[in-house]
Amino acid sequence: MMKHTLSVLGSTGSIGTQTLDVVRNLGLSVCALAARGNVRLLEEQIREFKPRFAAVFDPEAAKRLRLAVRDLDVTVAEGMDGLCEAASLDEAELVCNSVVGMVGLEPTLAAVEAGKDIALANKETLVAGGALVTARAAERGVRLYPVDSEHSAIFQCLQGSPGEKAVSRLILTASGGPFFGKKRAELVNVTPEQALRHPNWSMGAKITIDSATMMNKGLEVIEASWLFGMEPERIDVVIHRESVIHSLVEYVDNSVLAQLGVPDMRIPIQYAVTYPERYPSPVRRLSLADWGTLTFCPPDPEAFPAIGAAREALGRGGLAPAALNGANEAAVGLFLEGKLPFLRIAELAAEAAAAQPQSKEPLTLSAILDADKAAREYVLSRAGL
């Protein structure tokens, strides 16, 4: 049934603001908002949606927000404790986690412990802590609703499936990013400005760079494996430039179901909120005649090795995916600052993941955070910083 009261983490980011578009359109309530440090926009959101609780990860920004909204009946918390409290409020029927980066893992676990269903747009939660998060969610009876367009597409295509044994493979589509068709040698001197020019989607800087390296798709392979209990070898990736088919599911009879729509994140966000029901949305209708032609081709593993690096990390298991993710975050940050070449992003992420010893020990939050920290330090050391 549709969830009527939401806690929105990462409310000032791309997915967060689109989530609030869905809230407006459906006439829902918001009990909590949380952001990293965009005080101006967060204040506007608080005044519009009137949550009783807000959290700001940056303590200094939290002080500014308290002053800005002192005339309102809202509690402003800060830091990781604030994010976790926003994720576990009693009245929240659904926690929408669109926080960017590893900072999203602990609020997800807090929501799970509070028994809250989660609309999950934070990849790092399942990339770094998939075994831990899914096990705890199963114990608490918590549902994880995917918000990424690709995973939402798979989720939608699985509705009515007779069971896991009926599924042959999952096929994730990828836009190919701004450098589709480029050879590795052509990517040596790529600039942040060039990498941020995504052809189809309007996203934050970090995820846009991930799309340019295609690490985004590698992380999605890991995420899909945990979300849908699927072995890595049964998850494929295909380049689909138009971003109209968001992903596909192949069944054992070789029938393939696809979910289509214009490139607009409000469709998967709304479905996570209203599941299993569907409501009218503000998204424009898809006209296949207007698109005319849809194209498909395999990824280039030499120019874009990030997908292979992610598959290898998933195969190693343990803390390797957490290291891959942490190193990638650090490397993307350095690239955006002009301190690291574009091609080194995937290379350093793969190296950090490969350095993790294989282990059959159950994952713990502290071990994940330690692996993440070590991977980031590895990137800084290899970059000479």
pLDDT, one tens digit per residue, over 145-157 is 999 999 999 999 9
Residue 123 to residue 8: CA distance in whole angstroms: 16
Q: What is the pLDDT of residue 202?
A: 64
- Say whether both 86 and 129 belong to one domain: yes
**Spatial CB neighbours of 233, under 8 Å, sequence gap ≥ 6:** none
Residues 376 and 283 in one domain: no
Residue 201 banded pLDDT, cuts 50, 70, 90: low
Position 122 scores a pLDDT of 93
Count of CB atoms within 10 A of residue 373's CB? 15
**Same-domain pairing of 47 and 114:** yes
Q: Give the model's pLDDT for residue 106.
A: 97
Considering the domain architecture, whether residues 199 and 136 belong to the same structural domain is answered as no
Whether 189 and 280 map to the same domain: the answer is yes
Mean pLDDT estimate for the chain: 95
Distance CA 306, CA 364 (A): 26
Tell me the whole-structure pTM to 2 decimals. Answer: 0.94
Mean pLDDT of all residues in 244-263: 97
The residue range of the domain holding 11 is 5-147
Q: How far apart are the first and last CA of the chain?
A: 51
Q: Please count the other Cβ atoms lying within 10 Å of the Cβ belonging to residue 18.
A: 21
Alpha-helical runs (H) found in the chain: 14-26, 39-49, 59-68, 79-86, 105-113, 123-140, 149-157, 192-195, 205-213, 215-228, 266-274, 288-291, 306-316, 320-336, 344-354, 365-382
Greater model confidence, 357 or 188:
188
Instruction: Give residue 2's pLDDT.
Output: 86
Q: What does the pLDDT look like over 23-52, one tens digit per residue?
A: 999 999 999 999 999 999 999 999 999 999
- Residue-wise pLDDT tens digits, 61-79: 999 999 999 999 999 999 9
pLDDT at position 350 is 98
Task: Indicate the number of domains in the chain.
Answer: 3
Residue 118 confidence (pLDDT): 98
CATH code of the domain in which 127 resides: 3.40.50.720
266 or 359, which is more confident: 266
Q: Write down the pLDDT at residue 362.
A: 87
Residue pair 304/216 in contact (Cβ under 8 Å)? The answer is no
Do 311 and 333 lie in one domain? The reply is no
> What gap in Å lies between CA 77 and CA 66, rounded to an integer?
9
Residues 288-317 have a mean pLDDT of 96
Do 302 and 334 have their domain in common?
Answer: no
Is the pLDDT at 298 greater than 70? The verdict is yes
Residue count of the chain, please give it. 385
